[in-house]
Amino acid sequence: MPSTQSTYHAPVFEPTVDELAALKQLEIELVMTMPEALRQHLSGRLLEWGYIHKTPGGGFAISDSGRKLVQRQNN
């Protein structure tokens, strides 16, 4: 009998310093390539929570909700 595991999400997303820095970098760069994402240690949590999305070219870009998160953290 196969078991299904669901990913646990805390009720509130609190970004780490590295995740916030990556979002800020994506605001500047607009698209981050896969090699750059690996160098920046881009968090999978950002993708899971919808703060970034994959582009058709295989890179990563910040979403509107990611921009709002950065703005909220700066205030």
**Domain locations in the chain as residue ranges:** 17-74
Percent of the chain with pLDDT over 90: 24
- Any idea which fold 17-74 has? Arc Repressor Mutant, subunit A (1.10.10)
Q: Which two tokens stand for residue 23?
A: 């979002």
Residues 6+ apart with CB under 8 A from 13: 45, 49, 51, 69
Q: Which two tokens stand for residue 68?
A: 């709002």
Average pLDDT over residues 60-75: 86
Task: Please determine, for residue 34, whether its predicted confidence score (pLDDT) is greater than 90.
Answer: no
Task: Please determine, for residue 63, whether its predicted confidence score (pLDDT) is greater than 90.
Answer: yes
Task: Please determine, for residue 9, whether its predicted confidence score (pLDDT) is greater than 70.
Answer: no
